Amino acid sequence: MGRSQEQGEGQGPIHSIRLSTVGAARPTETGTTHEPTGLDLAMKLHYLKAAYIYSPETARDLTVRHMKESMFMLFDQIAWTTGRFSRRDSGRPYIKCNDCGTRFVEGQCNLTVEEWLSQPDRSVDEFLVYHQPIGPELAISPLIYVQLTRFKCGGLGLGLSWANIIGDSFSLFYAFNFWTKAITGETIHAPIPSKGDRGFQSPNPTVKDPVSVKRIDPVGDLWVTPNNKKMATYCFNLSVADQISPHFPANGDNSIPVFEIIAGIIWKCVAKVRAEPEPVTVTIIKKDPNDLKPNNAIRNSQVISSVQVDFPVAEATVEELVRSIGEAKDERFGIEEIGGSCDGNLDFVVYGAKLTFVDLSGEDLYGARVMGKSPHSVYFNVEGVGEEGLVVVYAAAKSEERVVTVTLPEEEMEMVKLEFKKCGMIAP
Amino acid sequence: MPQAPMPELTSSVKLKYVKLGYQYLVNHFLSFLLIPIMAIGAVELLRMGPEEILNVWNSLEFDLVQVLCTSFFVIFISTVYFMSKPRTIYLVDYSCYKPPVTCRVPFATFMEHSRLILKDKPKSVEFQMRILERSGLGEETSLPPAIHYIPPTPTMDAARSEAQLVIFTAMDDLFKKTGLKPKDVDILIVNCSLFSPTPSLSAMVINKYKLRSNIKSVNLSGMGCSAGLISVDLARDLLQVHPNSNAIIVSTEIITPNYYQGNERAMLLPNCLFRMGAAAILMSNRRSDRWRAKYKLSHLVRTHRGSDDKSFYCVYEQEDKEGHVGINLSKDLMAIAGEALKANITTIGPLVLPASEQLLFLLSLIGRKIFNPKLKPYIPDFKLAFEHFCIHAGGRAVIDELQKNLQLSGEHVEASRMTLHRFGNTSSSSLWYELSYIESKGRMRRGDRVWQIAFGSGFKCNSAVWKCNRTIKTPKDGPWSDCIDRYPVFIPEVVKL
């Protein structure tokens, strides 16, 4: 049972929603601005959503006031993310660093953490992340939403909705970890460097027309991906040993490229459903292994690369697909150029322009410890996905498992799930 | 052309010396009279020689009874004098509440909340923006946690929490600073105009700190922004009656229950200006506090213009058409404040002004009444009477108006303007933030005189005059400790939002 993507007021099982604002402790100098890069601007219609659930033992004594105070410490480091977008005379968007703040949402849930986690489709966690797009009035649209959901047993759900234009998923996790350290009361020695060099080294400076990005008609000031089809989400766990290894010939050294295999299998399944035309081009998004210093600044540095095959996907073997994925071409340079062209007035879709696979499996999501305890469950997805669909792979609570969140057009979802069942990815 | 400005310069310098000479002459008139008399007496004595002096002494024929009666008479008169002299009232120390950074409300946040809450009334939002741009407030003023919600959630619980937060923090700090034990508090006065729960805020303080059962506690409510000085007046009167006692005054305004939820423009104004704040003050009449007290209370003058209808209605709490309660500020507020100030000055002038200014004022008064009614009235120069001024930070207009009326320089009103910028209008406690500013700048020396002026609904104008008892070292803690180096700041006429 996928969950349809819709802009959210608190709905379904979350009630007693209260909105307030948190910001930075120290005032920013008047007139400070933050200029998005071309790559930032290309991502503007997408929003990253992460939900962390903590057990009652960890979270029972955490008050709203304490959580807000620690948020202030976080935003002291990245005060520019509490600003608001505005446009220059040329139309190019920029952030006015006016300390306006981010929206803090409090909600209650009548279920216990156990009851909540008992649902096999983890996309219910979408309810834990309050989301509103940027626009139609840029000046009063926060870039980040934080939701604090109190479960009946005292457990806590922390949901973060983060506009991709300010930073990629790795930046989001870094900021969240910073917040959990502040909540735990650890003295934070290294502040988040946010004004560092935001460039990246790309081995392919000559790619001119990136295929991983699709230009769309202008959306004006309401930054929402226009889709003709309604999208649905499905989230499930995979065991590496039982469900992934069998698809790949065993290597002598016992290391298999788990993400690439998952991507290959799902690519095949989608190709079988989406017969005409087959998705021969996909986008792969990963962390940049050569991330320039300063490390972990809040910015868009994820590698966006494209894979194109010239053989029919549905009949190909997983090995062939894995090999092709390994030869993906980094298109960031081209995206940077095209994103910043026409003074940032063009609008693009990246996630879902082609079938997109995001690799977050290297991220230590369960290292976001509050009071020394890891979260019970972590969920991640992207809002504003294009019609070709998105697959996100990330770590599960158990190290021998992975979590996969799939966002596809509603009409395709049931058939794709059937394909998953056929190849053993999900239980029949 | 160096010639032209020179005559003006020399004439203005000459005028300055003439003024100075006149002031010295009139203010030290008695000394000037006494010196020649003493000189003549000394010359006479020297001329007479010691034997003649002894002869004059013996001829007086002093008798034991006469000597005893005279000395008893002198002792009696001096005893009556010392007994009937009013006790000196000391301000031992005070403490101002510094809001946590989590309560900070930058302009952008305030306007965004306003846009979201009043989304059907763009004109009201526009009005609030214009007020905020010209208000003189800065980006660090604070509102209580309940008001940070969209829409605000002003429950009674939230109001009580705000009261507990601000009052207890200020009092804890005061107890620590002065080393006073809660059991030693004799008089407690709490003033908070718009929040008056049962049991009262003073009862809440007594409950928290376990104060004595025979404490004299008073809770003043409804008396507006001038209630701080009314509390000081009350404390003074009580300390005259009770020997060897101390008094704690808590001045605050609780914002939570009074945030206007409607959209009438005149009633949205207080939302833009009023901010969270509190002050706790320790006063005493004990001789032992003489050495450590910061200030002595010289005068306190209260003026009430309530008998005039226009003054009475100019700050009026009422319901709007939709039933929301708010405070309506009339358009002639400034004019009424000016009148109230004039009335207050007329009373306080003779108490504080030096003889030179009083003489000039008298002469100009006689001149206007008898000779020429069109003569401009002489405004006494209050800068000669006081070193420091604390004008209630009610709003930029109030400070501008008073600066103009009293002919004060920018430095004199700096404490008021900077308090308005950093803390907003904290109602009755703003005078104490201003005093703390002056101390934090290291400007308070022994013997300096301070004039605190407060305005309040009614319409009231109250003044207090303090004399600094000992030079005050720049405090290490206090509401200004982390930002005093940034002040004074330049506050533009209109802030671009």
Question: How do residues B315-338 score in pLDDT, each as one tens digit?
Answer: 999 999 999 999 998 989 989 999
| Mean pLDDT value across residues B364-371 | 82
Question: How large is the average pLDDT for residues A90-119?
Answer: 93
On whether residue A198 sits in a domain, the answer given is: no
* Average pLDDT over chain A, rounded to an integer: 86
Cis bond before residue B151 (omega within 30° of 0): yes
Q: Provide the 8-state DSSP code for A378.
A: E
pTM: 0.89
Do residue A252 and residue A180 come from a single domain?
A: no
User: Which chain B residues touch A137 with a CB distance below 8 Å?
Assistant: 115
Contact B106 A69 (CB under 8 A): no
- B379 by DSSP, 3-state: which? coil
User: In terms of domains, do A353 and A405 share one?
Assistant: yes
Buried/exposed code over A263-274 (b: 16+ C-beta within 10 A; e: otherwise): bbbbbbbbbbbb
* C-alpha pair distances (Å), A107 with each of A6, A68, A72: 18, 14, 20
Together in a domain, A177 and A226: no
Q: Percent of chain A, pLDDT > 70?
A: 90
Say whether B150 and A21 touch across the interface (CB within 8 A). Answer: yes
Report the SS3 class of residue B25: helix
* pLDDT score, position A2: 33
A166 plus A226 within the same structural domain: no
Of residues A193 and B77, more confidently modeled: B77
Where do the H-state alpha helices sit in A188-331?
A: 258-273, 318-326
Q: How far lies B406's CA from each of A190, A357, B390, B453, in Å? A: 53, 73, 13, 12
pLDDT in tens, B424-457: 999 999 999 999 999 999 999 999 999 999 999 9
Task: Give the alpha-carbon dihedral of B269, B273, B279, B284, to 10 degrees.
Answer: -60
Q: Is residue A165 part of a domain?
A: yes
For residue A83, tell me if it sits in a domain: yes
Q: Does A374 map to a domain?
A: no
Residues of chain A contacting residue B104, judged by C-beta atoms under 8 Å apart = 23, 25, 27
In angstroms, what separates the C-alpha of A109 from chain B's closest C-alpha?
A: 20
- CA A131, A132, A136 angle in degrees (round to 5)? 170
Claim to verify: residue A163 and residue A237 sit in the same structural domain: no
* Residue of chain B with shortest Cα separation from A138: B112
Which residue in chain B is spatially nearest to A23 when comparing CA positions? B102
In this structure, the number of other CB atoms found within 10 A of the CB of residue B349 comes to 16
A395 and A269 within one domain: yes
**CB-count burial class (<10 Å; 0-12, 13-18, 19+) for A116:** buried
Residues β-bridged to residue B329: B315
Determine, yes or no, domain membership for A6.
no
List pLDDT tens digits, range A369-389: 998 899 999 999 999 999 999
What's residue A53's pLDDT?
95
Q: Indicate whether A177 belongs to any domain.
A: yes
A21 vs B contacts (CB less than 8 Å): 109, 112-113, 148, 150
Amino acid at B188: L
Q: Between the ranges B66-75, B358-367, B446-455, where is the mean pLDDT highest? A: B446-455
- Which amino acid belongs to residue B417? R
Query: How far is the C-alpha of A404 from the C-alpha of A265, rounded, in Å?
Result: 12
C-alpha–C-alpha distance, residues A211 and A34, integer Å: 28
- Are residues A246 and A357 located together in one domain of the fold? yes
Q: What is the pLDDT of residues B260-294, one digit of tens each?
A: 988 888 899 999 999 999 999 999 999 999 999 99
Specify the DSSP class assigned to residue A373: B
Separation CA B150–CA B140 (nearest Å): 20
**Range 215-244 of B in CB contact (< 8 A) with A:** none
Tokens of B299: 């005068």
For the record, the structure tokens of B493 come out as 């006429």
B317 touches chain A (CB under 8 A): no
Q: What is the pLDDT of residue B13?
A: 79
Are A272 and A410 within one domain?
A: yes
Tens digit of pLDDT for each residue in A141-166?
999 999 999 999 999 999 999 999 99
CATH for A30: 3.30.559.10
* Model confidence pLDDT, tens digit, residues B37-49: 999 988 888 887 7
pLDDT for B36 beyond 60:
yes
Pick from B159, B413, B423: which is nearest to B274 by CA?
B423
Same domain, A133 and A257: no
By CB neighbour count within 10 A (0-12 exposed, 13-18 middle, 19+ buried), where does A407 fall?
buried
What pLDDT does residue A152 have?
A: 93
> Total structural domains in chain A?
2
Residues A414, A304, single domain; the answer is yes
Q: What is the ipTM of this complex?
A: 0.89
**Spatial separation of the C-alpha atoms in residues A236 and A269, rounded to whole Å:** 15
Q: What is the DSSP letter of B5?
A: H
Q: What is the DSSP letter of A7?
A: -
User: Which of these, A156, A163, A194, A196, lies nearest to A368 by C-alpha position?
Assistant: A156
In a domain, A284, yes or no: yes
pLDDT over threshold 60, residue A194: no
- Inter-chain CB proximity B145 and A23 less than 8 Å: no
Instruction: Find all residues with CB under 8 Å of A233, minimum gap 6, and list them.
Output: A2, A3, A4, A5, A123, A126, A381, A405, A406, A407
- Is there a single domain that holds both residue A26 and residue A166? yes
- A180 and A223 share a domain? no
What is the pLDDT of chain B when averaged over all its residues?
Answer: 91
Q: Say yes or no for a CB contact (<8 Å) between B108 and A65.
A: no
Rounded average pLDDT over A338-357: 89
Identify from A30, A98, A104, A138 which residue to disrupt to test chain B contact, counting B C-beta atoms within 10 A and taking the largest count.
A98
Which of B230-235's residues contact partners 24+ apart within 8 Å by CB, and which partners? Answer: B230/B191, B230/B302, B230/B460, B230/B462, B231/B189, B231/B191, B231/B428, B232/B281, B232/B283, B232/B297, B232/B300, B232/B464, B233/B300, B233/B302, B233/B462, B234/B189, B235/B89, B235/B187, B235/B189, B235/B283
What is the span of the domain harbouring residue A219? 214-362+384-422
Q: Per-residue pLDDT for A192 more than 90?
A: no
Contact status, residue A28 vs residue A99, Cβ threshold 8 Å:
yes
- Assigned domain for A287 exists: yes
- Provide the pLDDT for residue A109: 93
CB A165 within 8 A of CB A182: no
Report how far residue A309's alpha carbon sits from residue A356's, in angstroms, rounded to the nearest whole number. 15
